[in-house]
Amino acid sequence: MTTDPMRRLVLVRHSKASHDAVTDLERPLTPKGTALAGLLAKELRKRLETTDLLLVSPAARARETARPIRDRLEPTDTLVREEIYNLGPNGILGVLDEEGADARTVVVVGHEPTISVLAHILHDTDDDLASQISFGVPTATAVIIDVPGAWADLEPKSARIREIFTARKRD
């Protein structure tokens, strides 16, 4: 394990998805969503030196969002985990604890409200960044969080949001 305790958690809400599917798990990205996922991956590459682990919800829209992220960031490992879809913030924390021991930078591609709720819980101050996520994050958005210790030590107010950005154009 690394001697530098600082870690980085990147929470990504999947890109724009279609509503034309038999089940929620099968909902694919729209053509616009596919393009936005590529733009988001490009922006993540500019911001992250390395990525050790990519954790992805099994939903089609999350897997499709993760594809360009994986291609651009080239993580050491990529895992699709049901907990990211089914178990909310605690599911993500459980997978981080279980799979991320040696990882310094982890990107999670998941869903609302889990992404904004987890970011809000972990963020250590009530500031403008907290306000930005208090009502959720839009599709194709990433929340970059600095984590000062081990994943197992994550608890409420124990980390700090560094940046929130979206691939979507603001109107």
70 has pLDDT over 50: yes
**Which pTM was predicted?**
0.94
In whole angstroms, what is the distance from residue 134 CA to residue 117 CA? Answer: 8
Which domains, and CATH codes, for the chain? 7-166 (3.40.50.1240)
136 has pLDDT over 80: yes
What does DSSP assign to residue 113?
A: T
Question: What's residue 19's pLDDT?
Answer: 92
**Who contacts 22 (Cβ-Cβ below 8 Å, separation ≥6)?**
none
- In this predicted model, what pLDDT tens digit does every residue of 96-125 receive, in sequence order? 999 998 999 999 999 999 999 999 999 999
Report residue 84: phi and psi, to 5°.
Answer: -70, -30
171 has pLDDT over 90: no
- In this predicted model, what pLDDT tens digit does every residue of 24-68 receive, in sequence order? 999 999 999 999 999 999 999 999 999 999 999 999 999 999 999
In whole angstroms, what is the distance from residue 60 CA to residue 76 CA? Answer: 22
